[in-house]
Amino acid sequence: MESKADVVIVGAGINGCALAYEVAKRGKDVVILEKNYIAYGATGRCGAGIRQQWSTKENAMLAKKSVEIFERLSDELGHDIGLRQGGYLIAIHDEDEMKQAKKNVEMQKSIGLPVRIIYEDEIKEIAPILNPEGMNAIAATFCPTDGHANPFKTTYAYAKSAERMGAKIYRFTEVKNIKTSDKKIEKVVTNKGEIKTEYVVNCAGAWSKEIAKMVGIEMPNKPVRKEALVTEPLKRIFDCMVISFKHGIYFSQQEEGQILGGIPSPEEKSGYYTEPTFSFLKHMSYMLGKYAPPLKYVNILRQWTGFYDVTPDALPILGKTEIEGFIQCNGFSGHGFMIAPMTARLLAQLICNEKMDMSIDRLSQNRFKEKIIKEKSVVG
Amino acid sequence: MKIVCRCEDITEEDIIKAIEEYGCETLAELKQLLRLGMGHCQGRTCLILTAKILARKTGKSLNEILPSFRPPAVAVEIGLIGGENGK
Ligand SMILES: Cc1cc2nc3c(=O)[nH]c(=O)nc-3n(C[C@H](O)[C@H](O)[C@H](O)COP(=O)(O)OP(=O)(O)OC[C@H]3O[C@@H](n4cnc5c(N)ncnc54)[C@H](O)[C@@H]3O)c2cc1C
Ligand code: FES
């Protein structure tokens, strides 16, 4: 293993790999340390949905800028990332939700998103499989440029391109400790040796809290267990992701034809317990039958669990800390895939002292000392 | 050409190429890269065969490589599990 590097990234999920690419592209020596294998964490377990319809401007901007990058990413990296832009259809169930939706749409339109409110006829036109009555929906919002990409292909595309630019990815290499002196990063200790470095970026997803502790930083993040399932592949029946904030459900038809989705499980707990549950399977199946009755006759092949790394306001924690050289890139609260391209670009600009495309000051951990504005548009 | 995963149509050559190109050491990585074992039988046919190929290529013992299975044990219909009233 290298004895030194300019930047050491902890975690080879979508965020670690995208950041390694952006930093290596700028000519720095980068090393990723991953205790398991690429995409072992939330990245390899996620729905990989890409949504720009958020209630806070920070999330909406990060997602919008990321979509602009996703749209050119297969070409830029020379690997197909399996991007499909079939839109996100977000159910509106009552007048309260309608009020919030109108507010969201106004803000989203102001930053240039092609989002609109649609009613029963158009819901059925966009996704004939849906039953608005069973969904209990009075309307929906729809943004046609939302979509999803293949999380494995995207992560490996970033990883391979980073390696091509000289980055090194060490798998099965666990970060055990981080040494500092005078509140400044000195070196990273792993089970396979030590690396001297100026920068450590904490891209450890649901384990970020533990990495931060190594330099004496307490984080408010909580790992929250989430479950998902996938069905047998079907011929193409609908293109959009369907979600509901009220029911917490999300599902879409993937590139290969399978239906993938999730919903908060009735017995959800925080912690690192990973067994899938029957109660999730039952609840999700029931709700799928309500939302899209023909799916009742489709077979489920597999269910699994993963973790959301949840912050008190459901916004990520990004940027510098009181330890010089220790950079945060975590707290993605269930939507860290979709904003990874822009997040990576911004943090690379920060590390390389370039002018930043947008400010991330409001996303630093310091915000929790003040009153926070919570992101309302969360699912799963 | 030897087919290893019948459900997802993956050959022994595909697997060896992935192991060599990406340095895969686990079944999980091959699943991610190739969709191996993600077909209708959920790898009950191909994962053991692939484990043997991995053991041969990486020099690891078969025990270190053996698969974990995600439930349900067999494909089940959504309507059958969800029922009419969620009870
Ligand atoms: C069921 C589910 C559905 C989701 N759906 C979506 C979605 O539709 N859209 C979306 O945008 N997001 C979704 N998410 C969220 C998304 O998956 C995550 O926000 C994102 O993948 C986070 O990526 P990451 O690279 O930051 O972290 P991770 O992918 O979690 O990677 C962290 C890595 O750090 C490694 N690590 C941890 N500790 C150490 C250590 N000490 N030393 C070395 N390595 C270490 C881990 O092994 C892991 O590989 C979903 C999540 C789940 C669980
Ligand atoms: S043979 Fe590989 S999944 Fe069935």
Q: Which two tokens stand for residue A51?
A: 């949504």
The Cα of A211 is separated from the nearest Cα of chain B by a number of Å equal to: 24
Task: Find, in chain A, the residue whose alpha carbon is nearest to that of B68.
Answer: A304
The Cα of B26 is separated from the nearest Cα of chain A by a number of Å equal to: 8
Task: Find, in chain A, the residue whose alpha carbon is nearest to that of B29.
Answer: A37
The per-residue pLDDT for B44 is 86
Task: Give the predicted TM-score (pTM) of the model.
Answer: 0.94
Q: Are B3 and B9 in contact (CB under 8 A)?
A: yes
Q: Are A107 and A60 in contact (CB under 8 A)?
A: yes
Q: Tell me the chain A residues in contact with residue B34 when contact means C-beta distances shorter than 8 Å.
A: none
What confidence category does residue A357 fall into, taking pLDDT thresholds of 50, 70 and 90? very high
User: Would you say residue A370 has pLDDT above 90?
Assistant: no
By the CB < 8 Å criterion, does B35 face chain A?
Answer: yes
* Inter-CA distances, A249 with A11, A48, A228, A260, B4, Å: 28, 14, 10, 11, 36
- From the candidates A14, A17, A37, which should be mutated to test the interface with B, based on the most B CB atoms within 10 A? A37
Nearest to A108 by CA among A84, A144, A69: A144
Indicate the SS3 state at residue A321: coil
Buried b (16+ CB within 10 A) or exposed e, A65-80: bbbebbeebbeebebe
Encode pLDDT of A44-96 as tens digits.
999 999 999 999 999 999 999 999 999 999 999 999 999 999 999 999 999 99
Q: Can you give the residue ranges of every domain in chain B?
A: 3-65
Mean pLDDT of chain A: 95
Q: Are strands A4-10 and A30-33 parallel, antiparallel or unpaired?
A: parallel
The per-residue pLDDT for A360 is 96
What residues does A89 pair with on adjacent strands? A142, A242
Q: Tell me the chain B residues in contact with residue A287 when contact means C-beta distances shorter than 8 Å.
A: 82, 86
pLDDT: is A69 or B61 the higher one?
A69
Superfamily, domain B3-65: BFD-like [2Fe-2S]-binding domain (1.10.10.1100)
**Residue range B1-8: mean pLDDT, rounded:** 92
Nearest to A377 by CA among A58, A122, A151, A126: A58
By the CB < 8 Å criterion, does A171 face chain B?
Answer: yes
Q: Number of helices (H) and strands (E), helices first, in chain A? A: 9, 18
The per-residue pLDDT for A297 is 95
User: Would you say residue A5 has pLDDT above 90?
Assistant: yes
Q: How many residues does chain A have?
A: 380
- Residues with Cβ < 8 Å from A326, sequence gap 6 or more? A178, A180, A185, A199, A200, A202, A212, A215, A217, A320
Indicate the SS3 state at residue A224: strand
Please indicate whether, in this complex, the C-beta atoms of B28 and A288 are within 8 angstroms of each other.
Answer: no
The per-residue pLDDT for B85 is 61
Which ligand 2 atom lies nearest to the CA of residue B43? Answer: 3
Q: Are strands A222-233 and A241-243 parallel, antiparallel or unpaired?
A: unpaired
By the CB < 8 Å criterion, does B68 face chain A?
Answer: no
Which ligand has the minimum distance to the alpha carbon of residue A228?
A: 1
- Hey, what domains does chain A have and what are their CATH numbers? 4-47+152-221+313-369 (3.50.50.60), 88-144+225-306 (3.30.9.10)
Q: Are strands A222-233 and A258-262 parallel, antiparallel or unpaired?
A: antiparallel
Which ligand has the minimum distance to the alpha carbon of residue B36?
A: 2
Q: Are B30 and B50 in contact (CB under 8 A)?
A: yes
The Cα of B31 is separated from the nearest Cα of chain A by a number of Å equal to: 10
User: Would you say residue A143 has pLDDT above 90?
Assistant: yes
The per-residue pLDDT for B83 is 78
Which ligand 1 atom lies nearest to the CA of residue A18? Answer: 25
Which ligand has the minimum distance to the alpha carbon of residue B14?
A: 2
| CA distance linking residue A372 with residue A273, whole number of Å | 29
What residues does A304 pair with on adjacent strands? A228
The per-residue pLDDT for A268 is 61
Query: Atom 27, ligand 1: which residue's CA is nearest?
Result: A205
Nearest to A167 by CA among A348, A297, A311, A44: A348
The per-residue pLDDT for B87 is 52
Encode pLDDT of A309-345 as tens digits.
999 999 999 999 999 999 999 999 999 999 999 999 9
Q: Are A14 and A336 in contact (CB under 8 A)?
A: yes
Which ligand 2 atom lies nearest to the CA of residue B7? Answer: 4
Centre of ligand 2 to C-alpha B10, Å, is 9
Of A40, A298, A302, the CB nearest to B78: A298
The per-residue pLDDT for B86 is 57
Encode pLDDT of A260-297 as tens digits.
999 998 776 656 667 888 899 999 999 999 999 999 99
| Dihedral over Cα of A270, A273, A278, A281: its sign | positive
The per-residue pLDDT for B63 is 85
The per-residue pLDDT for A379 is 83
Please indicate whether, in this complex, the C-beta atoms of A282 and B35 are within 8 angstroms of each other.
Answer: no
Indicate the SS3 state at residue A72: helix
| CA distance linking residue B64 with residue A18, whole number of Å | 30
| CA distance linking residue A50 with residue A28, whole number of Å | 29
Our answer on whether the CB atom of B7 is closer than 6 Å to any ligand 2 atom is: yes
Which ipTM value was assigned to this complex?
A: 0.82
Our answer on whether the CB atom of B11 is closer than 6 Å to any ligand 2 atom is: no
pLDDT: is A354 or B45 the higher one?
A354
**Residue range B12-17: mean pLDDT, rounded:** 96
Our answer on whether the CB atom of B41 is closer than 6 Å to any ligand 2 atom is: yes
Please indicate whether, in this complex, the C-beta atoms of B86 and A171 are within 8 angstroms of each other.
Answer: no
Indicate the SS3 state at residue B65: helix
Encode pLDDT of A190-210 as tens digits.
999 999 999 999 999 999 999
Please indicate whether, in this complex, the C-beta atoms of B76 and A44 are within 8 angstroms of each other.
Answer: no
The per-residue pLDDT for A373 is 82
Encode pLDDT of A223-265 as tens digits.
998 999 999 999 999 999 999 999 999 999 998 899 999 999 8
Q: Tell me the chain B residues in contact with residue A256 when contact means C-beta distances shorter than 8 Å.
A: 35
